[in-house]
Amino acid sequence: MSMRRSLILLSILAAAACSPQTEKPSSADDGQREIRSLLGGWSKAFRNKDVDGVMAIYAPGQELVAYDIVPPLEYRGVDAYRRDYAAFFEEFNGPLDVEIRDLHIVGSSDVAFSYGLERMAGTLRDGAPFETWVRFTQGYRRIGGHWYAVHDHISVPAEPQTGKARFDLKP
Amino acid sequence: MSMRRSLILLSILAAAACSPQTEKPSSADDGQREIRSLLGGWSKAFRNKDVDGVMAIYAPGQELVAYDIVPPLEYRGVDAYRRDYAAFFEEFNGPLDVEIRDLHIVGSSDVAFSYGLERMAGTLRDGAPFETWVRFTQGYRRIGGHWYAVHDHISVPAEPQTGKARFDLKP
């Protein structure tokens, strides 16, 4: 083997050694785009009160830990959180509206989190209008080449002095 | 140059090419340990109502977006959040107690998030005892070789039907 050929071959081997991933590698930019797309799919499903659609964003099994607007303190596992979503959708007539504002996505190649403000609106079963702004944070892991939410935190602020939850705040 | 020497030299060059970071590289394990240490420092400062100590965990400037237990919907920038902490500490006589339970840290080499339940307790200025369990989520970026929290989300669950915030829940 000539020196020149051995140099070329070694350059190729070195480049291969620098990319040890067996699955398609992901950049932080890819992650941002993929998470934005996940949130788009979630929003569409939320509007249609499509439980399977909203749950598609979450990691299967017991990994998910969710802190929802409503009690209890935490939901563990995707089945418990699915029941929480289904119960929420049951409270409304017709479709919901949802708007995400001030969305931030902070991501690396395999871990990311997002946060922002979210307006949810709809018509309750008794015909009363419902509209509130909440804060959301979502944590993601890239598992087997796909991004999944493994953590959810959704809330409204509260007043310790009065014990009142502030569903009436606007950004 | 002999083939053997050129192979050795190229192996060294290839290894150098695989580590393009100019700052000390960090593994996910390093990140986990460093964030655990950050939270330990934060807890100690929180107990002592040491505003500078608690703020040391947060990214300087305007990057921080925090959703606190109390209104408003969001705090932007480290100065606004410092005033929030200072006002909270002012409500208490003597030191505070804080306990973190079910801590999860999900991290890569430069992005991470943590979440868990947190018991905060103390004696209010009027002598009344205060104790509550909250849910917390914190998002981090590794900036210039150091981990900083760039996002905070702390809350208690709330009841849309009654408008009541649930400061009384226990894990």
Neighbours of A62 (CB within 10 A): 11
Q: What is the mean pLDDT of chain B?
A: 88
Q: How many helices (H) does chain B have, and how many strands (E)?
A: 4, 8
Question: Tokens 């939850």 appear where?
Answer: A165
pLDDT in tens, chain A (171 residues): 444 444 444 444 344 343 434 445 567 788 889 999 999 999 999 999 999 999 999 999 999 999 999 999 999 999 999 999 999 999 999 999 999 999 999 999 999 999 999 999 999 999 999 999 999 999 999 999 999 999 999 999 999 989 999 999 999
Best B11, B67, B90 member to test A by mutation, with max A CBs in 10 Å, is: B67
CA distance B104 to B69: 20
Query: Chain A residue with minimal CA distance to B118?
Result: A73
The mean-pLDDT minimum among A14-28, B5-19, B114-128, B148-162 falls in B5-19
pTM over 0.90: no
pLDDT at B82 over 90: yes
pLDDT tier at B25, thresholds 50, 70, 90? low
| Rounded Cα–Cα distance for residues A122 and A35 (Å) | 25
B108 vs A106: CB contact, 8 Å cut-off?
Answer: no
| CB count in 10 Å sphere of residue A73 | 18
Let me know: does A155 contact B158? Beta carbons within 8 Å.
yes
Give the CA dihedral A157, B65, A140, A68, nearest 10 degrees. 0
Kindly indicate the confidence band of residue B26, based on its pLDDT and cuts at 50, 70 and 90. low
The answer to whether A163 contacts B167, with C-beta atoms less than 8 Å apart, is yes
Instruction: Collect all residues of chain A within an 8 Å Cβ-Cβ radius of residue B141.
Output: 106
pLDDT at A27: 76
A54-92: pLDDT as tens digits: 999 999 999 999 999 999 999 999 999 999 999 999 999
Sign of the torsion angle spanned by Cα atoms B114, B152, B169, B41: positive
Query: Residue range B37-66: average pLDDT?
Result: 97
Q: Check: CB of residue A140 under 8 Å from CB of residue A106.
A: no
Q: Residue type at A120?
A: M
From the centroid of its chain, how far is CA A60? Answer: 13
A39–chain B nearest CA distance, Å: 18
Answer yes or no: do A7 and B6 touch at CB < 8 A: yes
Q: Nearest Cα to B59, choosing from B36, B44, B75, B47? A: B75
Quick one: angle between helices B3-17 and A3-17, nearest 10?
Answer: 30
The residue behind tokens 């460093």 is B34
Q: Report the pLDDT value the prediction gives residue B166, as an integer from 0 to 100.
A: 98
